[in-house]
Chain A
Amino acid sequence: MEAYLVAIAIVGAIYVLLTLGLTVQYGLTGLVNFGHVGFFAIGAYASALLSLEGVPLVASFACAALAAALAAWPIGLVALRLRDDYFAVVTLGFSETVRLVITSERWLTNGVQGVPGIPRSFAGLGVGMAGSLATLAAIALVCLAVALALRRIARSPFGRVIEAIRDNEDALRALGKDPARFKMQVLALGAALAGVAGAFYAHYITYVSPDQFIPLVTFYVWMAMIMGGVGRVSGAVVGALLLMLFLEGTRFLRDVAPDLISAVDMASVRIGAVGLALILFTLYRPQGLVGDYTRR
């Protein structure tokens, strides 16, 4: 039971990190990133492949963040000067393309078979509880540090500018500031966070394959962010917890009553529930379950 709780806590914390990344991008700046999972995948594969080549985990984590941020750069270059809706389409296409590249470039990624045997984080502590707890502590610390940093950013001159971007981009340009420059930093920052989340994921699960990085993951994160309250750092944590409750709840339901519903039907139910949640929250509670929509 403890092992189970630690396991979902780790996955939950990974979702917290992903949600924090999206919160900077959409919640604070208004960037509609529909390709979050692409940056998550790049981070996971970058760290996994580097560590398998013998690179120490600290360095491979840093490379994961860097690789994801670098991948964001051309996307931002093309799409940030266009309207929001184009950005959404481009990022969605980006994440699908990342998955295609991972699937196709077998020499690097082993294709659909995936990459097994990725070094476990804190392997020195053994495969039991100690290693898992250390992993949990590490990712919880990272989440805390990121949350504090984001709060500082939100209340800084930089935060003022990105909120101004969300309110009225043209007015900002009229004052001599280039929204694209700020958006690029925000995009790269959110991507780097997703990259680090990917590294944690890869070294916790110890196996990565393309089917772990489907667009549905992006929208799990969107659901978490919207449920928790868009634009609030604390909302990211609340939302990710609610998301874990949903994911584990649906799995639990299937475990206790396997005759009730088949595995494929459960997959459909999950997708449907995510879809319905996105629709209903957008329609009736855009401020989230607990959020205050008017102020950050």
Chain B
Amino acid sequence: MSLVVRDVTKSFGGFRALDAVSFAMDGAAMLGIIGPNGAGKSTLFSVVSGFMAADRGTVALDGRPLDRLGAAARARAGMVRTFQVPREFHHLTVRENLMAAAPGQSGEGLLGLFLRPGRVRAEEEAIGAEADATIAFLRLTAVAGTPAGRLSGGQKKLLELGRALMAKPRLILLDEPFAGVNPVLVAELGERIAALNARGIGFLVIEHDLAALSRLVPRVLVMDRGRVLAEGPPGEVLRDPAVREAYLGGAAA
């Protein structure tokens, strides 16, 4: 897996949200993205995942340029994002949320539904089993049959991760996976992510909880005002005076 982002620039009116952002991820890597509010982190996610068009610059996954693809096509290419504010399908149960994410279902075509009922049933069983396994892996079994709208904020974060997994990506973009998650669960969620990474899935993670992030990822990218300020191991980067100036406002510790 490799993600190469080069010179990505995005302006809103006169405001430059991203200014020639470049970085690369190799292998089954994990990369954290930190920076103050308004640094452009979420805009970067939106541009990389195809929810916004970049003004300039390129995004490539495994050497394949994605710039002409929309969000859905980029996800099919192997890169799935989650959202800062969870976007669960609130009428669907947790299990249905996960099942909806599975790719290539023949029951998703009106023709297939009526012409090949046997095949649709067999697929449903397989996808259901996979969803149950993912639910168990994320420790959501107790709420598997609950409409997703009724979950707690932390459970919704887990649900989004589970849904992303069902889409079989090689790279997952996590937008603040620990926000709103209780501290016990944060550690657990970190473990789950690390376990997935060990299985070969790459993660790009925006996170404000620096302690949790530092435990999770070997490298971070620091952004400020639409630019990349520094990149390196979390401990090292956070000692950089420029980073401290921008990120901590120079004030605290």
Contacts and interface: CB of A to CB of B under 8 A. Distances in A.
Contacts of A153: 110, 113
Contact of B110 (A166, A175, A177, A189): A189
Nearest to A176: B75
Interface in A166-213: 166-168, 170-179, 182, 185, 189
A168 B87 contact: yes
Contact of B99 (A160, A171, A174): A160
A170 B51 CA distance: 8
Contacts of B123: 157
Contacts of B51: 170, 173-174
A176 B113 contact: no
A174 B108 contact: no
Contacts of B138: none
A159 to B, nearest CB: 9
B82 A174 contact: yes
Contacts of A177: 72, 75, 108
Nearest to A231: B91
Given A163-B91, A294-B147, A295-B91, A158 B113 contact: yes
Interface string B75-96: 1100011110001111110001
Given A157-B107, A158-B110, A176 B89 contact: no
* Chain B: number of interface residues, binned into ranges: 35 or more
B170 interface: no
Given A158-B109, A175-B75, A177-B72, A163 B89 contact: yes
Contact of B120 (A157, A161, A172, A175): A157
Contacts of B107: 156-158
B129 to A, nearest CB: 15
Given A174-B80, A175-B167, A167 B89 contact: yes
Contacts, number: 102
A173 B100 contact: no
A172 B105 CA distance: 14
Contacts of B88: 167-168, 171
A157 B124 contact: yes
Q: Is the interface of A mostly helix, strand, loop or mixed?
A: helix
Interface string A120-146: 000000000000000000000000000
B101 interface: yes
B91 A296 contact: yes
A106 interface: no
Nearest to B103: A176
Contact of A174 (B49, B120, B147): B49
B83 A171 contact: yes
B203 to A, nearest CB: 15
Contacts of A178: 70, 72
B121 to A, nearest CB: 10
A164 interface: yes
Contacts of B206: none
A185 B110 contact: yes
Given A158-B108, A175-B164, A175-B167, A152 B113 contact: yes
A189 B97 CA distance: 24
B30 interface: no
B167 A156 contact: no
Contacts of B96: 160
Given A157-B120, A158-B108, A161-B108, A167 B76 contact: no
Given A161-B100, A175-B101, A178-B72, A170 B163 contact: no
Contact of A156 (B92, B97, B113, B147): B113
Given A170-B51, A174-B164, 16 more contacts: A158-B109, A160-B92, A161-B108, A164-B100, A166-B91, A168-B87, A171-B83, A172-B100, A173-B75, A174-B71, A174-B81, A175-B164, A176-B72, A176-B167, A189-B110, A294-B147
Which 8 A-B residue pairings sit nearest by Cβ, starting from the closest? A157-B107, A176-B75, A171-B87, A167-B89, A176-B76, A164-B89, A173-B71, A168-B87
19 contacts: A152-B114, A157-B105, A157-B113, A157-B120, A158-B109, A160-B99, A161-B108, A164-B100, A170-B71, A173-B70, A173-B71, A173-B75, A174-B80, A174-B82, A174-B87, A175-B164, A176-B73, A176-B76, A177-B75
